[in-house]
Structure 1
Amino acid sequence: REAADAALARLQPLRDRLRVQAVHGDVTDDNIVLGDDGPGVIDFGDVSDGWLVAELAATVTSALHHVPDEPLAVLDVVEAFHAEAPLDD
């Protein structure tokens, strides 16, 4: 609880500036499927309103377990995310 409270306190000055929208919240290997038309997302039980950047954080977390010794490899994930849903500073 202390860690969550500390994180929320640090985010407080930014909260009004963070983009809120419907997010999946659980974009992981288990929730991505590949079909003839490309990738898709399943398991919509986690969808809610949330910060767009939190969607990126969840996705990066999933990607990190594939390359735990190469954390900068997730920059490709960030770049691809930004191409589809641009983030600002």
Structure 2
Amino acid sequence: MYDFTGHDHRQMQLMLEGYGLTTARILYHFPDHPGLLQAYIWQDYDLAPKFPVLAGFLEFWRTKLDGPLHSVCFTHNRLIAPNEWRKVDGELRLH
């Protein structure tokens, strides 16, 4: 059940606007040991097909963090599809 105050409200609003949950597995080289790879899992709501939130995070990584990127694999899932919502004209209450 969603609490429509605070963070849950933001998530629901993003889903209604077409955003879906994007999860990325980022492999990067250790700064001190470039032959070793480390995995980082990133997750946020993003908008397909351009993925501006993920692109912004990867740009931040490239410019501000040590540890060059090796590869990025991601998946995206819209949690609410347009056909899952319909208009309701009435409400029936018992007791």
TM-score (norm 1): 0.28
Larger RCO: 1 or 2 (CA < 8 Å, sep 6+)? 2
Bigger-Rg structure (1/2): 2
Higher strand share goes to which structure?
Answer: 2
